[in-house]
Amino acid sequence: MTVAFRPRPSVVRRDSGLYAYERALARRGLTPIAGVDEAGRGACAGPLVVAAVVLRKQIDGLADSKLLSPAVRERLYARIVDTAYVSVVTIPPEEIDARGLHRSNVSGMRRAVARLPCDPAYVLTDGFPVPGLSAPSLAVWKGDQVAACVAAASIVAKVMRDRMMVSLDAEYPSYGFADHKGYVTPGHRLALETHGPCPHHRYSFVTVAREMGENEMGAGVA
């Protein structure tokens, strides 16, 4: 049974540095510690990528991947995969459409932790609780900004997903995936209006479903 560890405010302060959670857990003998985060949750195209990371050494410069430049993310990604235990799960659009985004996300986090090459004693997840993990866990609000292992997971997930979207751009150049990475932008909306969705769009998402419906109605009138 998963039992949540909830540090007292006097033990873990959100302004105590990026390694404060790890230090507090280590003082209680709860190591190794895994951090879990995803990339692509808000996109309407492309996969959801979930990463779990166990840091084996301190890495300077870790931060929420969204706050870092692509060049810095790539540099930190290389250091993380060289020095940490890393597991990545890719959830395709069809699975998201079939199961729903949140269920797919939670399942991906469980699978990422289970595939780590070590057994974590504790798991920190970004934002929301993940039931069914093999170790005690804590959902940390904006965990990618306050916990080093979660920040590392956010970087791994973001870099890997961005690379996948650049590859999709070469296959489907009309949509501009290399620029917006599957998120909704004016250019992406225009491409959907012009070409309709491709097989890598999430058909259950409102923006995509709307264009599918309008294209079907237009085809019926013609």
Could you report the per-residue pLDDT of 125-151, keeping only the tens digit for each?
999 999 999 999 999 999 999 999 999
96 and 192 housed in the same domain: no
Q: Give pLDDT, residue 214.
A: 56
Q: Give pLDDT, residue 12.
A: 54
Domain count along the chain: 2
The verdict on whether omega for the bond into residue 32 sits within 30 degrees of 0, i.e. cis, is yes
143 and 181 housed in the same domain: no
Tokens 């540099």 correspond to 75
- Tell me how far apart the alpha carbons of residues 209 and 63 are, in angstroms, rounded to a whole number: 35
- Residue 211 structural domain: 174-221
pTM score, two decimals?
A: 0.89
In a domain, 115, yes or no: yes
What's at 3, amino acid-wise? V
Last residue of a domain, one of 152, 169, 186: 169
Q: What digits encode the pLDDT tens for the residues 47-89?
A: 999 999 999 999 999 999 999 999 999 999 999 999 999 999 9
90 and 194 housed in the same domain: no
75 and 157 housed in the same domain: yes
126 and 57 housed in the same domain: yes
Closest-CA residue to 97 (of 199, 219, 218): 199
**Is the per-residue pLDDT at 3 higher than 50?**
no
81 and 109 housed in the same domain: yes
What are the angstrom distances between the C-alpha of 116 and each of 68, 83, 88? 25, 14, 9
In a domain, 14, yes or no: no
**Is the per-residue pLDDT at 166 higher than 80?**
yes
150 and 105 housed in the same domain: yes
Please give the structure tokens belonging to residue 45. 């195209």
71 and 155 housed in the same domain: yes
Q: What's the alpha-carbon Rg for the chain, to the nearest Å?
A: 19
At 4, is the pLDDT very low, low, confident or very high (cuts 50, 70, 90)?
very low
In a domain, 3, yes or no: no
**Is the per-residue pLDDT at 6 higher than 90?**
no
136 and 217 housed in the same domain: no
